[in-house]
Amino acid sequence: MSNRKALTDAFVRTVTVDRRTEFSDTQCPGLKLRVSKTGKKSFALKARDAFGTVQTVTLGEYPATTLRQARDAAQEARRLLRVGKNFAAEKRTRKAERSRAPTLAELIQEYQVVGSVTTKVWRPRADGRLPEAQSSVQRVFAPLLDKNVTTLTAEDFADVMANYRPKQRGKVSANGSVSRARSYLSVVMDWAANRKRFGKIGAGRNPALDVVDIKLTHDPAISDPSITGGRERVLTEDELALVLPLMTYPAPKALSSRLAAEDHLRPVAHRFILLTLARLREVAEMKWRDVDFRSGIWTKIPIDKRSAAESRRQRVPLSDAAMHLLKSLPGADTADPDDLVFPNSYGQVEVNWNRGTEAIKKASGTSGWTRHDLRRTSATILAALGAPIDLIADILGHSNRTKRHGLSGAVEHYVIATKILRGVEDPRKVVLDQLATVLDAIEARARDAGDLTSGV
């Protein structure tokens, strides 16, 4: 059924029909308002092209497309038809491209190859697991992985994000995981569509795909008060005074455990993290062969986020306090070079670190901090001591600062030579010794306060 009518905003807004009806606008020749019995409304243009063939051009759905916008779009489409544009052929081409388009999983794999060249989170991890970004996206968006990526809408992605539940026991919200996956996938989709920073010719996927912009969806981290972007938690002096006496070897009796005190290495490993600013995995997989007791140098394992180009192991000096800690452990004199420094009771890599951390929190009466916050706390103390930011970043292993200044990363191989030939002490060791002095002073204050309380 077709009706000719001078369309108005009020009519378009209120019109209802019992069956699909098409209204022809008398003010804009060829403009059609299509109304279904379900209430769906859309605009289209029917006009002849340069070769006399009638083409139908879809202009948009109401109310996203207003009557005025539809009339303007109809005039532009009619002009393009007159100069030879074939909307129908382009529509068939897009449909064919969609049929050949990859699934979301295939697109993610495509980008992994591209992204791994410049971005660490898209590189396979050292233990053979999928890259951090790829694993995150595939975990959160699992229900969409086998879908043609060009058919997925912003609503599809938003629905999956809204229904994703945390996989880790004890977590009440998955908003952090969803936000990270959304961020990683956004880059993939922009690359596929040649959008934003991939807009320059040759920077994005070839051929480009008509895929949705993930940024159209809501980032759940924005409305989650427990997520504030980069974590900034550090332990206060009072908190350090409470936890440091528990981070000893043998493990103190206050940390009840089924293990004998001499076999319980998790508490002292926490202190080692404070003294070295190391990552948990670096400490957990540290072997005795990695420590040169003569020079006081620890050669760290290559971590997950290091690229192949940066696979040279990080060599960092150990403070006198850190060296004393290592020498106090039972394996310092008797262990095989390939034995772990902080193993579990079976001599294997410790995996149940949460038990040790929670025991320290409970015994000290502290809460709200993580093992990574210990690392951040020590970095903050170094900053308070006036250590240069580049030096702190170097100790943390955040980046290769020598590369930023045009030097070879091999310069760290000459630390020992410099120390011997020039008598120059590694500035990293200087600040790490200062850090140890601060931690000792905080612990001593707590000990003295305890003695006073007990009447000693």
Cα torsion at 436, 440, 442, 445 (round to 10°)?
-170
SS percent in the chain: helix, strand, coil, step 5:
50, 10, 40
Phi, psi of 235, deg, nearest 5 = -80, 140
Q: Which CATH architecture has domain 237-454?
A: Orthogonal Bundle (1.10)
Instruction: Answer whether 1's CB lies under 8 Å from 21's CB.
Output: yes
Nearest to 180 by CA among 166, 193, 170, 191: 166
Extended strands (E) in 196-319: 291-292, 297-299, 315-317
> CATH assignment of 101-216?
1.10.150
The helix or strand, by DSSP H or E, that contains position 56, with its residue range, turns out to be strand 54-62
Beta bridge partners of 4: 24
Strands 21-25 and 2-5: parallel
Instruction: Answer whether 248's CB lies under 8 Å from 268's CB.
Output: yes
CATH fold of 2-99: Double Stranded RNA Binding Domain (3.30.160)
One digit per residue, the tens of pLDDT, for the chain of length 456 reads 458 989 999 999 999 999 999 999 999 999 999 999 999 999 999 999 888 889 899 999 999 999 999 999 999 999 998 888 888 777 766 655 555 688 999 999 999 999 988 888 899 887 788 999 999 999 999 999 999 998 899 899 999 998 888 765 545 556 778 888 999 999 999 999 999 889 888 889 988 888 999 888 887 766 555 544 455 788 999 999 999 999 999 989 888 667 777 788 999 999 999 999 999 989 999 999 999 999 999 998 765 444 444 445 688 999 999 999 999 998 888 889 999 999 988 889 888 888 889 999 999 999 988 888 999 999 999 999 998 988 888 898 875 544 444 444 444 444 555 455 445 578 999 999 999 999 999 998 877 766 544 443
Instruction: Answer whether 72's CB lies under 8 Å from 60's CB.
Output: no
Please report the pLDDT score of residue 309 as a whole number.
43
Instruction: Answer whether 342's CB lies under 8 Å from 272's CB.
Output: yes
Length reported for the chain = 456
Q: Indicate if the alpha-carbon torsion angle 322, 328, 334, 338 is positive or negative.
A: negative
Name the region of 347 (left: φ>0; alpha: ψ -120 to 50; beta: rest): left
- What angle (nearest 5°) sits at the alpha carbon of residue 141, between those of residues 137 and 147? 115
Give the N- to C-terminal CA distance of the chain in Å, as an integer: 100
> Which regions of the chain carry the CATH code 1.10.443.10?
237-454
> Which regions of the chain carry the CATH code 1.10.150?
101-216
> Which regions of the chain carry the CATH code 3.30.160.390?
2-99
**C-alpha pair distances (Å), 283 with each of 112, 273, 276, 320:** 29, 7, 10, 17
